[in-house]
Protein backbone atom coordinates (compact mmCIF):
# COMPACT_ATOMS: atom_id res chain seq x y z
CA UNK A 1 0.00 0.00 0.00
CA UNK A 2 2.82 2.43 0.83
CA UNK A 3 4.19 1.85 -2.68
CA UNK A 4 0.98 3.17 -4.31
CA UNK A 5 0.54 5.93 -1.73
CA UNK A 6 3.82 7.44 -2.89
CA UNK A 7 2.30 8.11 -6.32
CA UNK A 8 -0.61 9.99 -4.73
CA UNK A 9 1.74 12.42 -2.98
CA UNK A 10 2.33 15.66 -4.99
CA UNK A 11 5.78 15.99 -3.39
CA UNK A 12 6.76 12.66 -4.98
CA UNK A 13 6.09 14.00 -8.49
CA UNK A 14 7.83 17.30 -7.75
CA UNK A 15 10.89 15.38 -6.50
CA UNK A 16 10.76 13.08 -9.55
CA UNK A 17 10.76 16.05 -11.93
CA UNK A 18 13.72 17.54 -10.03
CA UNK A 19 15.75 14.32 -10.36
CA UNK A 20 14.92 13.96 -14.08
CA UNK A 21 15.89 17.60 -14.69
CA UNK A 22 19.16 17.21 -12.78
CA UNK A 23 19.98 14.12 -14.85
CA UNK A 24 19.17 15.90 -18.12
CA UNK A 25 21.68 18.59 -17.14
CA UNK A 26 24.26 16.01 -16.09
CA UNK A 27 23.85 13.59 -19.01
CA UNK A 28 25.86 15.67 -21.46
CA UNK A 29 29.37 14.75 -20.29
CA UNK A 30 28.32 11.13 -19.72
CA UNK A 31 27.03 10.90 -23.29
CA UNK A 32 30.37 12.23 -24.57
CA UNK A 33 32.35 9.59 -22.63
CA UNK A 34 30.08 6.77 -23.80
CA UNK A 35 30.27 7.95 -27.41
CA UNK A 36 34.07 8.20 -27.34
CA UNK A 37 34.47 4.79 -25.70
CA UNK A 38 32.01 3.02 -28.03
CA UNK A 39 32.90 4.72 -31.32
CA UNK A 40 35.62 2.22 -32.26
CA UNK A 41 33.30 -0.78 -31.88
CA UNK A 42 31.30 -2.44 -34.69
CA UNK A 43 27.69 -1.10 -34.91
CA UNK A 44 26.14 -4.08 -33.07
CA UNK A 45 28.62 -3.83 -30.21
CA UNK A 46 28.18 -0.05 -30.11
CA UNK A 47 24.52 -0.52 -29.17
CA UNK A 48 25.41 -3.08 -26.51
CA UNK A 49 28.13 -0.84 -25.04
CA UNK A 50 25.73 2.10 -24.88
CA UNK A 51 22.95 0.05 -23.26
CA UNK A 52 25.17 -1.86 -20.81
CA UNK A 53 27.25 1.19 -19.98
CA UNK A 54 24.25 3.48 -19.46
CA UNK A 55 22.28 0.94 -17.42
CA UNK A 56 25.17 -0.06 -15.18
CA UNK A 57 26.16 3.59 -14.75
CA UNK A 58 22.69 4.46 -13.45
CA UNK A 59 22.79 1.55 -10.99
CA UNK A 60 26.18 2.77 -9.76
CA UNK A 61 24.86 6.33 -9.49
CA UNK A 62 22.00 5.07 -7.29
CA UNK A 63 24.54 3.43 -4.97
CA UNK A 64 26.71 6.54 -4.94
CA UNK A 65 23.72 8.75 -4.12
CA UNK A 66 22.81 6.59 -1.13
CA UNK A 67 26.30 7.02 0.35
CA UNK A 68 26.87 10.51 -1.10
CA UNK A 69 27.46 12.35 2.18
CA UNK A 70 30.08 9.82 3.32
CA UNK A 71 31.87 9.84 -0.05
CA UNK A 72 32.05 13.62 -0.28
CA UNK A 73 33.69 13.80 3.16
CA UNK A 74 36.64 11.62 2.11
CA UNK A 75 39.70 13.82 1.62
CA UNK A 76 41.63 13.23 -1.58
CA UNK A 77 38.93 11.07 -3.22
CA UNK A 78 38.03 13.68 -5.84
CA UNK A 79 41.69 14.44 -6.53
CA UNK A 80 42.25 10.76 -7.36
CA UNK A 81 39.03 10.66 -9.38
CA UNK A 82 39.97 13.80 -11.30
CA UNK A 83 43.40 12.44 -12.18
CA UNK A 84 41.74 9.23 -13.35
CA UNK A 85 39.47 11.26 -15.64
CA UNK A 86 42.49 13.03 -17.14
CA UNK A 87 44.01 9.63 -17.93
CA UNK A 88 40.74 8.34 -19.45
CA UNK A 89 40.36 11.47 -21.60
CA UNK A 90 43.93 11.21 -22.88
CA UNK A 91 43.51 7.49 -23.65
CA UNK A 92 40.29 8.08 -25.57
CA UNK A 93 41.83 10.93 -27.57
CA UNK A 94 44.95 8.89 -28.39
CA UNK A 95 42.81 5.96 -29.54
CA UNK A 96 40.59 8.16 -31.68
CA UNK A 97 43.55 9.76 -33.48
CA UNK A 98 44.53 6.33 -34.81
CA UNK A 99 43.04 5.10 -38.07
CA UNK A 100 39.48 3.76 -37.91
CA UNK A 101 40.64 0.21 -38.85
CA UNK A 102 43.21 0.17 -36.04
CA UNK A 103 40.66 1.49 -33.56
CA UNK A 104 38.13 -1.19 -34.49
CA UNK A 105 40.74 -3.93 -34.12
CA UNK A 106 41.83 -2.75 -30.67
CA UNK A 107 38.40 -1.83 -29.27
CA UNK A 108 36.32 -4.46 -27.53
CA UNK A 109 33.00 -4.41 -25.72
CA UNK A 110 34.29 -5.17 -22.22
CA UNK A 111 36.98 -2.47 -22.27
CA UNK A 112 34.49 0.10 -23.61
CA UNK A 113 31.96 -0.69 -20.86
CA UNK A 114 34.73 -0.62 -18.23
CA UNK A 115 35.86 2.82 -19.40
CA UNK A 116 32.26 4.09 -19.34
CA UNK A 117 31.67 2.83 -15.80
CA UNK A 118 34.91 4.25 -14.36
CA UNK A 119 34.35 7.65 -15.96
CA UNK A 120 30.71 7.81 -14.91
CA UNK A 121 31.49 6.96 -11.28
CA UNK A 122 34.11 9.72 -11.12
CA UNK A 123 31.91 12.25 -12.92
CA UNK A 124 29.04 11.49 -10.56
CA UNK A 125 30.98 12.18 -7.35
CA UNK A 126 30.19 15.90 -7.25
CA UNK A 127 26.70 15.51 -8.75
CA UNK A 128 25.08 12.95 -6.49
CA UNK A 129 24.53 15.48 -3.71
CA UNK A 130 21.96 17.31 -5.83
CA UNK A 131 20.15 14.08 -6.68
CA UNK A 132 20.19 12.95 -3.04
CA UNK A 133 18.77 16.31 -1.93
CA UNK A 134 15.94 16.07 -4.48
CA UNK A 135 15.08 12.50 -3.39
CA UNK A 136 14.95 13.49 0.32
CA UNK A 137 15.66 9.93 1.42
CA UNK A 138 12.92 8.36 -0.76
CA UNK A 139 14.67 5.34 -2.31
CA UNK A 140 11.73 4.56 -4.66
CA UNK A 141 11.82 8.12 -5.99
CA UNK A 142 15.57 7.90 -6.45
CA UNK A 143 15.45 4.62 -8.39
CA UNK A 144 12.57 5.68 -10.67
CA UNK A 145 14.12 9.09 -11.37
CA UNK A 146 17.53 7.70 -12.27
CA UNK A 147 16.04 4.82 -14.29
CA UNK A 148 14.18 7.34 -16.46
CA UNK A 149 17.52 8.97 -17.26
CA UNK A 150 18.78 5.81 -19.05
CA UNK A 151 17.01 6.52 -22.37
CA UNK A 152 18.25 10.13 -22.21
CA UNK A 153 21.87 8.98 -21.97
CA UNK A 154 21.35 6.27 -24.63
CA UNK A 155 19.83 8.77 -27.07
CA UNK A 156 22.52 11.37 -26.36
CA UNK A 157 25.33 8.84 -26.82
CA UNK A 158 23.93 7.54 -30.11
CA UNK A 159 23.64 11.09 -31.44
CA UNK A 160 27.20 11.92 -30.33
CA UNK A 161 28.64 8.89 -32.18
CA UNK A 162 26.93 9.99 -35.41
CA UNK A 163 28.20 13.56 -34.97
CA UNK A 164 31.75 12.34 -34.26
CA UNK A 165 31.73 10.25 -37.43
CA UNK A 166 30.57 13.26 -39.45
CA UNK A 167 32.65 15.91 -37.66
CA UNK A 168 35.87 14.31 -36.26
CA UNK A 169 36.90 17.60 -34.60
CA UNK A 170 34.18 16.91 -32.01
CA UNK A 171 36.37 14.07 -30.70
CA UNK A 172 39.03 16.54 -29.53
CA UNK A 173 36.33 18.73 -27.99
CA UNK A 174 34.85 15.71 -26.19
CA UNK A 175 38.23 14.68 -24.78
CA UNK A 176 38.83 18.28 -23.66
CA UNK A 177 35.43 18.25 -21.92
CA UNK A 178 36.44 15.13 -19.98
CA UNK A 179 39.67 16.91 -19.00
CA UNK A 180 37.70 20.00 -17.93
CA UNK A 181 35.46 17.87 -15.69
CA UNK A 182 38.58 16.12 -14.35
CA UNK A 183 40.20 19.44 -13.37
CA UNK A 184 36.89 20.62 -11.92
CA UNK A 185 36.63 17.42 -9.87
CA UNK A 186 40.15 17.92 -8.45
CA UNK A 187 39.37 21.53 -7.48
CA UNK A 188 36.17 20.38 -5.71
CA UNK A 189 37.98 18.07 -3.27
CA UNK A 190 37.54 18.62 0.46
CA UNK A 191 41.30 19.14 0.79
CA UNK A 192 41.13 22.27 -1.38
CA UNK A 193 37.80 23.62 -0.12
CA UNK A 194 39.19 26.54 1.92
CA UNK A 195 41.82 27.46 -0.68
CA UNK A 196 39.25 27.50 -3.51
CA UNK A 197 36.85 29.56 -1.37
CA UNK A 198 39.55 32.24 -0.98
CA UNK A 199 40.79 31.92 -4.57
CA UNK A 200 37.78 31.38 -6.84
CA UNK A 201 39.97 31.67 -9.95
CA UNK A 202 41.66 28.36 -9.05
CA UNK A 203 38.51 26.37 -9.86
CA UNK A 204 38.42 27.64 -13.46
CA UNK A 205 42.20 27.49 -13.84
CA UNK A 206 42.21 23.87 -12.72
CA UNK A 207 39.39 23.01 -15.16
CA UNK A 208 41.15 24.72 -18.08
CA UNK A 209 44.43 23.04 -17.16
CA UNK A 210 42.68 19.66 -17.12
CA UNK A 211 41.35 20.20 -20.65
CA UNK A 212 44.80 21.28 -21.89
CA UNK A 213 46.57 18.36 -20.21
CA UNK A 214 44.23 15.81 -21.81
CA UNK A 215 44.77 17.21 -25.31
CA UNK A 216 48.56 17.43 -24.96
CA UNK A 217 48.85 14.07 -23.19
CA UNK A 218 46.60 12.29 -25.69
CA UNK A 219 48.50 13.64 -28.69
CA UNK A 220 51.84 12.81 -27.08
CA UNK A 221 50.67 9.23 -26.44
CA UNK A 222 49.54 8.97 -30.06
CA UNK A 223 52.86 10.35 -31.38
CA UNK A 224 54.78 7.88 -29.20
CA UNK A 225 52.68 4.97 -30.48
CA UNK A 226 53.27 6.00 -34.10
CA UNK A 227 57.04 6.29 -33.48
CA UNK A 228 57.13 2.76 -32.05
CA UNK A 229 55.21 1.42 -35.07
CA UNK A 230 57.51 3.22 -37.53
CA UNK A 231 61.00 3.64 -35.97
CA UNK A 232 62.38 5.08 -39.22
CA UNK A 233 59.96 8.05 -39.09
Per-residue pLDDT tens over the stretch 18-58: 777 766 666 667 778 888 888 878 888 888 888 887 777 77
pTM beyond 0.85, yes or no: no
Per-residue pLDDT tens over the stretch 137-185: 677 777 777 777 677 777 778 888 888 888 888 888 888 988 998 898 8
The 3 state secondary structure assigned to the chain is CHHHHHHHCHHHHHHHHHHHHHHHHHHHHHHHHHHHHHCCCCHHHHHHHHHHHHHHHHHHHHHHHHCHHHHHCCCCHHHHHHHHHHHHHHHHHHHHCCCHHHHHHHCCHHHHHHHHHHHHHHHHCCCHHHHHHHHCCCHHHHHHHHHHHHHHHHHHHHHHHHHHHHCCHHHHHHHHHHHHHHHHHHHCCHHHHHHHHHCCHHHHHHHHHHHHHHHHHHHHHHHHHHHHHCCCC
> Taking the domains of the chain in order of start, what are their residue ranges?
2-229
Q: What percent of the chain has pLDDT over 90?
A: 10
Amino acid sequence: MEFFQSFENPEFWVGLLKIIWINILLSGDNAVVIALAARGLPPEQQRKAILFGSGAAVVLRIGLTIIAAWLMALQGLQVIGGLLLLWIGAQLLANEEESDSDAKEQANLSSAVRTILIADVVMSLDNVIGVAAAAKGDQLLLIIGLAISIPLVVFGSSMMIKLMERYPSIITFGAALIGWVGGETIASDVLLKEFVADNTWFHYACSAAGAGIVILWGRQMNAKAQTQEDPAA
